Amino acid sequence: AQTVTQSQPEMSVQEAETVTLSCTYDTSESNYYLFWYKQPPSRQMILVIRQEAYKQQNATENRFSVNFQKAAKSFSLKISDSQLGDTAMYFCAFRNRDDKIIFGKGTRLHILP
Amino acid sequence: EPEVTQTPSHQVTQMGQEVILRCVPISNHLYFYWYRQILGQKVEFLVSFYNNEISEKSEIFDDQFSVERPDGSNFTLKIRSTKLEDSAMYFCATTLGILSEKLFFGSGTQLSVL
C-alpha cells in the first residue's frame, strides 16, 4: 500500500527565512505524481507545486521549490523568503494510476513576524 | 482558473438525519472525488467516481454513504443517518482524467452533527 509520511507536525520560522518541509512516501510504482497542497485557516486546499516522477528536474514555482529524490522516495518542499501569508497547514500528497490521491498528515507552518 | 463549487459551505444537522452535500465540478472534468478532513487531522479519501460509477472507495465509505450525479452536473454525497463522528470538512475534487496531474478542490462543506 502506498503511504505518505510527513515527519514534522509543526514548524516555526521567522519571516524572510527559508524553510524546508520534509515528505517521504512508499510505492512500488515507477510513474506517479507528487504534490504539495497548502491549507490556510480558511481550510481551502490550494495546490502549491507538483512533480512528475519521470522528470528528474525539480519543480519550481516562484518562491516554492522541491527536492525530489526518487531513489530515496523523498519529496521536500522549500519555501524561500517566507512570508506571513505562508502560514498554513501543508500536505504532501501522492497520486498514481490507482485513481486517488493519498495525503500525509500535514505540517503546520507558522511564519513569525 | 476554473473552479469547483460546493454547497452549502456549512451544514448543521441532528444525529440520525440525512444530509446531502453538493458539488458542481468543472464542466469538462471526468473524475470526481470526495475527501473529508476531521478538524486537526489529515485529509482522507472517501470515494472516486467515473462514468457514473464508483471506481474506488475507502473503508470509511460504508453503507451510510452514497454518491451520484443525477443530472449530469451536480455531484452529490449523501449521508443517510449522520453520526457525531461524521462531523468534518468534506471536500469535492475533480480532474480531467487519470493521467491528468491536477486535482481541483472545492472550498469544502463544513458538516457539524449535533
Residue B101 confidence class, pLDDT cut points 50, 70, 90: low
- The number of beta carbons lying within 10 Å of the beta carbon of residue B53 is 9
Other residues' Cβ atoms within 10 Å of the Cβ of residue A16: 10
Question: What secondary structure, in 3-state letters, does A50-96 show?
Answer: EEECCCCCCCEECCEEEEEECCCCEEEEEECCCCHHHCEEEEEEEEC
* Cβ pair A50:B101 closer than 8 A: yes
Q: Which grid coordinates are listed for A55?
A: 522528470
Nearest CA in chain B to A100: B48
Question: Cβ of A43 under 8 Å from any chain B Cβ?
Answer: yes
What does the buried/exposed string (b/e) look like for A34-47 if buried means 16 or more CB atoms within 10 Å of the residue's CB? bbbbbbeeeebbeb
Test mutation, A8, A37, A45, A47, chain B, max B CBs within 10 A = A45
- To the nearest 10°, the Cα dihedral for A4, B96, A58, A53? 60
Mean pLDDT taken over chain A = 91
Nearest-Cα distance to chain A for B70, in Å, is 22
Give the model's pLDDT for residue A98.
Answer: 62
| Confidence label for B97 from pLDDT (cuts 50, 70 and 90) | confident
Q: 3-state class of B85 per DSSP?
A: helix
Predicted confidence (pLDDT) per residue in B9-63, tens digit: 999 999 999 999 999 988 888 889 999 998 878 889 899 998 889 988 999 999 9
DSSP SS3 for B33: strand
Give the rounded distance of the alpha carbon of A58 from its chain centre.
13
Residues across chain A: 113
Contact status of A2 with chain B (Cβ, < 8 Å):
no
| Cβ-defined contact of A99 to B48 (cutoff 8 Å) | yes
What whole-number distance in Å separates Cα of residue A59 and Cα of residue A67? 8
Q: What is the mean pLDDT of chain B?
A: 89
- Under-50 pLDDT residues of chain A: none
Q: Are B79 and B64 in contact (CB under 8 A)?
A: yes
Q: Does B7 touch chain A (CB under 8 A)?
A: no
**Distance between CA B81 and CA B78 in Å, rounded?**
9
Q: Is residue B94 within 8 Å of A26, Cβ to Cβ?
A: no
